[in-house]
Chain A
Amino acid sequence: MAAISTSEERDEGGDLLLWVLVWGELAAFGILLTGYVVMSMLHPENFALAKLHLAPRLAGFNTVVLLASSWQAALAASSQGKPRRQRLFLLGAAFLGFLFVALKFAEYSSEWTAAGDENLQTFFELYFLITGFHLAHVAFVATLFVLAAIRLERSTIVTLTTIWHVIDIVWLVMFPLIYLS
């Protein structure tokens, strides 16, 4: 056994870790979304009533913001060897990520009052848990984008952009499931 691993071996190890992280995220959100679907089938009237307090228009706009952010992240990952461009795209992705967070908080502020209703409590508990968990991911990775823009490193950028795309995919699934169906 070699005492020191080669850079290729390290890359494979990093790649494996990245995909373990990706599938871990998808599994976690999958469990939460399944729980949401089960509860919505057990309490269909309350869930339908609670959804009237949501803001699908703002959420739809937020979807476009997150998609634009994902594009910036993809451009950053494909701009290897061009540090100025890469920084710009990483900061663009981070800015749009923070915009998503700000819009989501604006959305929460209008929904917060309805959450106190006893009949709607189950829906709002799950809603804040799922969207809040997603929001925490967005805020955290957007912050990491800013740090990655300060210290450019290929593997870090690839990892962050891949996780960002997964966060985007989760939102794309979450939007019709929670807001529309």
Chain B
Amino acid sequence: MDDSKLFGSANWIMMLGIVGALIAAQWKHEVIPAAALAVILVMTIAKIRLIVLDFMDLRGMRPNLARALMIWPIFFSALSLSKVVLATLL
């Protein structure tokens, strides 16, 4: 992958990272609302997708491997969100 494309991806990843950190920082000693956590988790998945496709250089190269790598974070993000949703509902 050439440097300009890598730079573009890195920009997105850093921006998502900074915004995610800023959202998380709004609730220091309180329980974070499920909606805010959902936003952070969606951004986490987006970051990981860019890392897998562009940083690991798997875009268009090994689609099955890239998909398999994405399952791991999606599973734990879903677990994380369902834990908070269940705690809110129960």
Contacts and interface: CB of A to CB of B under 8 A. Distances in A.
Interface of A: 19, 22, 26, 30, 33, 37, 40-41, 44, 48, 52, 56-57, 59-61, 63-64, 67-68, 70-71, 73-75, 77-78, 161-162, 165, 168-169, 172-173, 175-177, 179-181
A179 B57 contact: no
Q: Is the contact region of chain A dominated by helix, strand, or loop, or is it mixed?
A: helix
Interface string B67-90: 001001100110111011001000
B73 A19 contact: no
Interface in B1-19: 1-3, 6, 10, 13-14, 17-18
Contacts of B18: 64
Given A67-B13, A71-B14, A180-B37, A165 B3 contact: no
B37 A176 contact: yes
Given A33-B76, A71-B13, A56 B55 contact: no
A45 to B, nearest CB: 11
Given A78-B3, A78-B57, A172 B32 contact: no
Given A73-B55, A173-B73, A63 B37 contact: no
Q: Rank and list the top 10 A-B pairs by shortest CB-CB distance, nearest first.
A: A60-B21, A74-B55, A71-B10, A181-B80, A67-B17, A177-B80, A57-B25, A173-B76, A64-B17, A60-B24
**Max chain B C-beta neighbours (<10 A), residue from A33, A44, A56:** A56
Q: Is the contact region of chain B dominated by helix, strand, or loop, or is it mixed?
A: helix
A44 B87 contact: yes
Contact of B21 (A22, A30, A61): A61
Nearest to B47: A172
Interface residues of B, number: 43
Nearest to A177: B80
A172 B79 contact: no
Nearest to B62: A19
A67 B3 CA distance: 17
A74 B6 CA distance: 8
B35 interface: no
Contacts of B84: 181
Contacts of B79: 37, 177
A169 B73 contact: yes
A64 B51 CA distance: 13
Contact of A78 (B6, B28, B76): B6
A62 to B, nearest CB: 9
Given A60-B22, A172-B47, A180 B54 contact: no
